């Protein structure tokens, strides 16, 4: 079959057979954010272009080469967000969230857009989860947010991800380092790529992040930033490491980490893996104490991280981590005859209100085809309502895995009977317990639903 069009290059569809994997990972992320006191923030998918020019940095590859920028019909320059921090910082200022008290701790889950060569682990539309703190200068804040990222990886069962840590100092102490880099790379200018030659005057630290093999080889012998940071930044970095040590978070100090965006200061970090090839950075972050001031606010310490969900799922797949699928059908109801279909439909709606995942036929299958479909969707229980069942007021419910059956009344006691007979089987003993369903059914059993005391 010829279809009208296919997906745009650099984008991917998340299909129903895979969506439970995303939901599982996102659930872990949201839970970790919550226990650390972070609240969700949702920002627009596009912003005024100047926001990213000022925050991300005009000398970065993101701004120069990768942003999706366009003019509106009103003549405004608009850009699809290439990352999440700039929009969160803009919202923090625009809505004066700081008036709610400091620190302000937010998390986000969003799509980002960068025009770059599409490959595994690097798409033009990609998904990020991030956590950010505003108004906290203490080294504990750095350690807290690093620990949160580390906890997410541990809860997902990942073993081949390790933390790399560095400090790139503050704005005041980076001047000498920048001068040293300019002097060093100027001696190798003929061997630098064209992009790095242009970086030499504007921001030589970006050369350290270049993926060109020639530039990488030259950068190996470049001056190390830790030799140039001031006493305050050095003390801050030492405290961050001390708090991580106290929390038994393993790390490696990597003086070559600079991160790719201009707003970073002091602590920078990456969680990296070698299980998915070249795109091995799964999470990156650090401190950016000058960002809020750069966007027009008062000097405000800030820090955060973002992790790519696509890459994270790639790592989980490479480590053969099984992600539980909670998309189960608790009961499939087949029906024979018009009156039975009406009863099956109304009963299905009542079951769903009690959080029992129930399916009925809506495509016109015969009875045999309905039962085949019940097997295909792995329904835990099934039942067939016929005219005789309507007359007797009782129906047999079948356990699809054991073949055992029990009788249930086709009246307002059906849900109570079904739940009591299947409660343990539906969720308990399953490796992935649906807490919401358990609480819902428990509440149903302990409530005076339909006017009767079920206790």
Cβ-based burial of 334 (10 A; exposed 0-12, middle 13-18, buried ≥19): buried
Q: What does the domain layout of the chain look like in residue ranges?
A: 16-173+229-318, 331-451
Distance between CA atoms of 229 and 174, rounded to whole angstroms?
A: 7
pLDDT value of position 209: 79
Closest CA to 89 of 307, 300, 309, 306: 300
Q: How many helices (H) and strands (E) does the chain have?
A: 16, 16
Distance between CA atoms of 374 and 360, rounded to whole angstroms?
A: 9
Closest CA to 165 of 190, 184, 139, 187: 139
pLDDT value of position 171: 82
Distance between CA atoms of 354 and 454, rounded to whole angstroms?
A: 15
Q: Which two tokens stand for residue 177?
A: 């380092």
DSSP string for 20-43: HHHHHHHHHHHHHHHHTT-EE---
Distance between CA atoms of 124 and 397, rounded to whole angstroms?
A: 50
426-433: long-range pairs with CB below 8 Å, 24+: 426/330, 426/356, 426/380, 431/324, 432/324, 432/325, 432/326
pLDDT value of position 369: 96
E strand or H helix at 368: helix 367-376
Output the pTM of the full model. 0.86
**Sheet of 46-48, strand order:** 46-48, 77-80, 69-71
pLDDT value of position 59: 61
Angle among Cα 254, 259, 260 to the nearest 5 degrees reads 150
pLDDT value of position 441: 47
Distance between CA atoms of 283 and 270, rounded to whole angstroms?
A: 6
Distance between CA atoms of 167 and 402, rounded to whole angstroms?
A: 60
Q: Let me know: does 256 contact 208? Beta carbons within 8 Å.
A: yes
E strand or H helix at 71: strand 69-71
Length of the chain: 455
Angle among Cα 123, 80, 47 to the nearest 5 degrees reads 150
Same fold, 16-173+229-318 and 331-451: no
Rounded to an integer, what is the distance from CA 83 to the centroid of its chain?
13
pLDDT value of position 440: 45
Q: List, in sequence order, every residue forming a beta bridge with 107; answer none if it has no partner.
A: 40, 131
pLDDT value of position 454: 38
Distance between CA atoms of 370 and 374, rounded to whole angstroms?
A: 6
Closest CA to 137 of 295, 292, 324: 292
The CATH fold of domain 331-451: Rossmann fold (3.40.50)
CATH number for the domain formed by residue range(s) 16-173+229-318: 3.30.930.10
* pLDDT averaged per 10 residues, the chain (length 455): 90 94 97 98 97 80 84 96 96 97 98 88 92 98 98 96 95 85 93 89 83 90 93 97 98 87 86 85 94 94 96 95 87 96 96 93 96 94 96 96 94 89 52 42 46 39
């Amino acid at each position: 079959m010829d279809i009208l069009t296919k997906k745009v290059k650099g984008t991917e569809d998340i299909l129903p057979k895979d969506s439970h994997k995303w939901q599982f990972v996102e659930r872990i992320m949201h839970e970790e954010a919550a226990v650390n006191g972070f609240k969700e923030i949702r920002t627009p998918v596009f912003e005024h272009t100047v926001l990213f020019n000022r925050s991300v940095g005009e000398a970065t590859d993101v701004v120069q080469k990768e942003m999706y920028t366009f003019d509106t019909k009103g003549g405004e320059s608009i850009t699809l967000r290439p990352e999440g921090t700039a929009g969160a910082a803009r919202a923090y200022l625009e809505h004066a969230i700081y008036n709610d008290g400091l620190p302000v701790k937010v998390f986000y889950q969003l799509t980002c857009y960068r025009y770059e060569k599409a490959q595994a682990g690097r798409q033009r539309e990609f998904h990020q989860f991030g956590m950010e703190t505003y108004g906290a200068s203490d080294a504990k804040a750095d350690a807290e947010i690093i620990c949160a990222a580390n906890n997410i990886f541990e809860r997902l069962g990942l073993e081949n991800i390790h933390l790399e840590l560095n400090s790139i100092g503050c704005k005041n102490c980076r001047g000498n380092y920048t001068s040293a880099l300019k002097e060093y790379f100027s001696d190798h200018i003929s061997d630098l790529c064209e992009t790095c030659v242009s970086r030499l005057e504007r921001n030589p630290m970006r050369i350290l992040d270049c993926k060109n093999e020639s530039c990488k080889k030259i950068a190996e012998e470049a001056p190390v930033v830790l030799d140039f940071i001031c006493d305050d930044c050095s003390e801050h970095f030492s405290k961050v490491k001390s708090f991580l040590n106290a929390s038994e978070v393993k790390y490696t100090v990597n003086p070559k980490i600079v991160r790719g965006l201009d707003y970073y200061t002091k602590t920078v970090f990456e969680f990296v893996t070698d299980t998915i090839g070249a795109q091995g950075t799964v999470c990156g972050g650090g401190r950016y104490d000058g960002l809020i001031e750069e966007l027009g606010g008062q000097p405000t310490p800030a820090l955060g991280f973002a992790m790519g969900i696509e890459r994270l799922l790639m790592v989980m797949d490479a480590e053969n981590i099984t992600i539980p699928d909670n998309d189960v059908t608790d009961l499939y109801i087949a029906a024979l005859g018009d009156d039975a279909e009406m009863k099956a439909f109304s009963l299905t709606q009542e079951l769903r209100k009690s959080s029992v995942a129930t399916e009925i036929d809506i495509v016109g299958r015969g009875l045999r085809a309905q039962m085949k479909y019940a097997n295909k969707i792995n329904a835990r229980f099934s039942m067939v309502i016929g005219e005789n069942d309507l007359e007797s007021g009782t129906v047999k419910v079948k356990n699809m895995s054991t073949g055992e059956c029990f009788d249930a009344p086709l009246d307002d006691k059906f849900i109570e009977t079904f739940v009591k007979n299947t409660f343990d089987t539906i969720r308990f003993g399953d490796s992935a317990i649906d807490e919401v369903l358990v609480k819902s059914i428990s509440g149903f059993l302990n409530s005076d639903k339909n006017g009767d005391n079920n206790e």
